[in-house]
A = this chain, B = another copy of it.
Amino acid sequence: MTNGAEAILQTLIDNDVRVCFANPGTSEMHLVAALDSFPQMRAVLCLFEGVATGAADGYGRMAGSPAATLLHLGPGLANGMANLHNARRAGTALLNIVGDHAASHQDLDSPLQSDIRSAAGVVSTWVGRPAGVADLGPAVIEGLQAGGVATLIVPADVSWSDGAEPGGRVPRAQTPSESGPAGASERVREVLRSGEPVAFLLDGSVLTEAGLAAADRIAQVSGARVFCPTWPARWRRGAGVPRATPISYRAETVREQLDGIRHLVLVEARPPVTSFAYPGQEGRLVAPGVDVHELEGGVAALSALADELAPEVIARLAESRPAELPTGTLNADNWAYVVSALLPDEAILVDEAITSGLTVLPDAFAGAPAHDVLGLTGLAIGQGLPLAAGAAIACPDRPVVCLEADGSAMYTLSALWTHAREQLNITTVILNNRSYAILRAEMGRVGATAIGPSAASMMDLVGPDLDFVSLSQGMGVPATRATTAEELAAQFKTATSTPGPHLIEAVLTSDR
């Protein structure tokens, strides 16, 4: 006899879901118990649900296939929601399994009773809740086919009841580039032939070598500019890869970047807008006279267009241009060149550097060895350390470098314990500027220019200072502190050449 929990695991395994990031409780105990019968499923314990969901996002972005999470009732889901928000914005496919009370327990107003479905709906493209074992297999399949963040709410009695049947094996959900029409839209072709100034904004599966190459070939014959979002879900960058330019976080700079264009062509991308509203400013970053076009069909469509418009043209690849190792005291302007100069080949670069990375990262890493960048897609901070865990599990043979702002690190710091427990090859660099530095910048931008002591105390992470070396060691990750570029270089070399996780606290000085 197969119980519901076993049928869920069998269905996941049959569909190549082999990793489950878990923070279970009593209502998920049958799923935990079933793990020992399914050694093909790797269960990774996380000490907080936001670590589990962020890791599933990182896994999905790098593996290209979904991971599962295992979460405990409504509060467990709530703790995972911020990183599910990021995953939803990244378009990552993953399946949350959220335990619920048994049917007999639903009306008893017991301590953990809550409206799980409403919470799940906020961050999910699909929510299912099988009422009995007969509905279970099909529900798991439906969740996997939904494509994005799917949430399966499983009442405990459905987990423990016998008579369940796995849902079988089904084709994976198609990604946008596989499902769209193969031909470029006629209108985009006309635009490119018109000679009018064009910019491309690429995202999703187009930020691969193939997609970037197609865009670059078109750019060579049309003069089009090629952009990507500030924080893409996954972007291939560095030596040997055709370039794209990130849209700036600052509206003024974006207007310069897009100055003079007549058409903006979006390929799997959203129209560029400011992250926040500011008094008296327009949130749309596309000037009123610019026509916005969507090219459907992703890489295939873009490649077809390149073959048609630039048949003889070969994509230009970024040259290898190793950064020069800076010297002296670390600050927001020089740290990134140390990491870039010493970046291992085929690194996965998790970018939650926030203020410390905004202006410096694109230049610092343009000529570094080819790597994949994973960005903060939904701006819900606390993504980096969990995302790194999932990426490292998806790609055990690739080094992961996690660039992590001090304030952001504190939201999901216990991810470090999972880095240690799973002995993941992750080098975390904490950019410690001892503040929510971005808020100081934003304060002026919203028109609140006089910062008094109370307001300052909401933005400065001092009194006491956070000691990330101590915090990291407390979770089993070896750690060092760097205050100069030379120290960072030496420590980064050691960390990336030694298996397992490491953390470097880079203390950044500022001019304020």
Contact = CB atoms under 8 A, between A and B. Distances in A.
B81 A85 contact: no
A417 B466 contact: yes
A413 B413 contact: yes
Contact of A26 (B24, B276, B464, B474): B276
Interface string A95-125: 0000001101100111110110011011100
A47 B410 contact: yes
Contacts of A283: 104-105, 108, 110
A320 to B, nearest CB: 32
Number of this chain's copies in the complex? 2
A467 interface: yes
Contact of A277 (B78, B101, B411, B413): B101
A29 interface: yes
Interface in A402-417: 407, 410-411, 413-414, 417
Nearest to A37: B452
A465 interface: yes
A328 interface: no
A443 interface: yes
A275 interface: yes
A270 B119 contact: no
A377 B111 contact: yes
A446 B110 contact: no
A290 interface: no
Interface stretch (A196-204, A254-262, A385-393, A454-462): A454-462
A48 B411 contact: yes
Contacts of A115: 121-122
B471 A474 contact: yes
Contacts of A468: 474
Given A43-B458, A474-B474, 16 more contacts: A26-B446, A32-B455, A32-B458, A36-B453, A47-B461, A48-B382, A78-B119, A101-B277, A108-B271, A108-B284, A111-B231, A111-B379, A160-B446, A413-B413, A466-B474, A469-B474
6 contacts: A29-B443, A35-B452, A75-B85, A110-B273, A110-B274, A156-B446
